Amino acid sequence: MSARIVNKPVADLRAEPDHRAERVSQALIFTRCELLEEHGAGEGEERWARVRTPDGYTGWTLAAFLSEPDAADATADGQEALEWKVRAPWAPAFDSRGELQLYLPFDARFRGRLHGRDGRVELTLPDGRRAWVRRADVKRGEPEPLSELLRLARRFVGVPYLWGGVSPFGFDCSGFVQRLFHYGGVQLPRDTEQQRRVGRPVARLSELKPGDLVFFPRHVGLYLGGAAGWLIHAARALGGVGLTPLLADEPYSQALRARFLEGRRLNLGIGNAAFRP
């Protein structure tokens, strides 16, 4: 097996090597993948690659969306490059002339070198091009406290629902939860039922704390707390990422309460913080 790196801001992973096949997940730019097999080597055929992403998920993506990892590992002027992650929903990447090259999505991780004199971070894109991003749009690739994840979660309210989505282009429920915690430094499984096996159970709604995962049949959200019992989740019923007061006497809140399965508390060792809308 050989390694590849995603070279597009967001690459769809399909169940089969076909654009019409189900989107099972996505991978962000700079994600290192394990190449499992290729399909479509004939003349005029699109070449597809089946890959395994770091969360153990497998799917088919266009081979053109993958590069050898060597270029992105390059460092400028032989100096050590540090790991960075995108903190903004989208970080524009510019070339040396200041022309926009592409957007790096939230939580995309790369190695780059900080220019203190002009407040930018230089990096090498997967195709070998040199680029830079604003220092304000990125952060060192270090773990985050749970309170920061709860604060960041609200930034994505209004992002549309997308089956298989894991980026601000569109999230599904488990993709939204997985992306937030990955930004914090925790690799959760991709699917709802897999995530339900992580951490320890919380049996009652009244026992939930901010930062707990909240599970319903085929659905998961992140508990933010507060007097109304706020839940943030990517839901088809909401059209995307939205806030639901679980304890309110509203029809949707009542329906969710009736379908509550359990919460799961992750042992992150970074504390809980109450949410205030």
Exposed e or buried b per residue across 232-266, where buried means at least 16 C-beta atoms within 10 angstroms of its C-beta = bbbbeebebbbbbbbbeeeeebeebeeebebbbbb
19 is catalytic: no
* Catalytic-labelled residue, pool 33, 39, 115, 173: 173
H/E run at residue 184: helix 173-184
Q: At what angle do helices 146-153 and 173-184 cross, to 10 degrees?
A: 140
Instruction: Copy the structure tokens of residue 166.
Output: 């894991």
User: What is the token pair recorded at 28?
Assistant: 């962000």
- Is 219 labeled as catalytic in the residue annotation? yes
91 φ/ψ sector (left φ>0, alpha ψ -120 to 50, else beta): beta
Catalytic residue of the set 19, 39, 182, 219: 219
What residues are labeled active site? 173, 219, 233
